[in-house]
């Protein structure tokens, strides 16, 4: 496809389409009635922004702290894989609560691991290369927390219960934003 270079400002009216990397694959274990995962990756100059929206409705929280959240008894409960080619090297990020989790545990943590096979209700800490990115504590509406660690290249993302509550989520929406270069 030919490349067009503009020397001055460009104004676009209507729809602007940009070819972007393929969306991150969602594991087969992120399956529940009402569960939604949406992702976008944008390159803005030399900054790559990865934005993930996940609705926990229909997923299960684990019976023990650090248990993987996912479809009841299902494996592959990852909601995305970070790659250097698509997401860059992650150097900052945050997680925000858009709807408070109910039905299960409002204490939700964010992890990364090099395994993609994590199973609901199993310890995320038993996965190869696991790292906690955010110990979220009990979430409240619009609470935004900066990540305390960042996923390495080729790491898969997981949510895990912060405390023991083996039950199905009836609500709970999170936005996760990662900045890479």
Give tens-digit pLDDT for 5-59. 666 666 666 654 455 555 688 999 999 899 999 999 999 889 999 999 999 999 9
Closest CA to 28 of 103, 148, 164, 119: 119
Whole-number pLDDT of residue 12:
64
Whole-number pLDDT of residue 72:
94
For 151-172, how does the pLDDT look when each residue is reduced to its tens digit (9 = 90+)? 999 999 999 999 988 899 999 9
Whole-number pLDDT of residue 164:
83
Q: What are phi and psi of 132, to 5 degrees?
A: -85, 125
pLDDT at 120 over 60: yes
Whole-number pLDDT of residue 22:
58
Contact 55, 177 (CB under 8 A): no
Q: Residue 26 carries which DSSP code?
A: P
Of 21-30, 96-105, 112-121, give the lowest mean pLDDT range.
Answer: 21-30
For 124-139, how does the pLDDT look when each residue is reduced to its tens digit (9 = 90+)? 999 999 999 999 999 9
Contact 178, 93 (CB under 8 A): yes
Contact 69, 120 (CB under 8 A): yes
For residues 73 and 164, the model is more confident at: 73
């Amino acid at each position: 496809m030919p490349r067009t270079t503009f020397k001055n400002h460009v104004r676009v009216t209507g729809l602007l389409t940009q070819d972007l990397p393929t969306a991150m694959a969602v594991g087969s274990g992120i399956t529940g009635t009402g569960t939604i995962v949406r992702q976008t990756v944008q390159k803005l100059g030399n900054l790559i922004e990865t934005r993930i929206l996940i609705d926990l409705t229909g997923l299960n929280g684990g019976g023990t702290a650090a248990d993987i959240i996912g479809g009841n008894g299902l494996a592959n409960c990852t909601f995305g894989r970070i790659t250097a080619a698509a997401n860059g090297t992650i150097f900052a990020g945050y997680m925000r609560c858009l709807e408070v989790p109910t039905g299960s545990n409002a204490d939700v943590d964010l992890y990364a691991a090099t395994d993609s096979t994590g199973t609901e209700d199993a310890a995320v800490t038993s996965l190869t290369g696991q790292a906690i990115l955010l110990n979220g504590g009990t979430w409240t509406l619009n609470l935004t927390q900066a990540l305390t660690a960042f996923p390495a290249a080729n790491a898969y993302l997981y949510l895990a219960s912060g405390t023991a509550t083996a039950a199905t989520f009836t609500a709970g929406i999170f936005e996760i934003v990662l900045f890479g270069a």
